Structure 1
Amino acid sequence: MDPELDRLFEVVSGYFALLSEPTRLKILNAIC
């Protein structure tokens, strides 16, 4: 796996861990 992609995954996982479920759904909807 690309190290940069791996790092991005780490950061995103960190954000998701901090966010509540509704906020997470909103972000996913905004991205997709």
Structure 2
Amino acid sequence: MLVIVTALVDFYNLLFFIGMFNRQKIQSKQK
């Protein structure tokens, strides 16, 4: 059970990191 929770946390952190990276790229494009 603990392994599944850890994997989910890592997965959400990865999604969050990708989302922030994409947002920065979009903002730099608009400028």
When normalised by structure 1's length, the TM-score is 0.55
Identity %: 5
Query: Structure 2: any 5+ residue segments left out of the alignment?
Result: 1-10
Q: How many residues get paired?
A: 20
Q: Which has the higher contact order (CA 8 A, sep 6+)?
A: 1
Instruction: Work out which of the two has the higher radius of gyration on C-alpha atoms and give 1 or 2.
Output: 2
CA RMSD, aligned part only? 1.6
Q: Which runs of 4+ in 1 moved over 6 A?
A: none
TM-score (normalised: structure 2): 0.56
Q: Which has the higher helix share?
A: 2
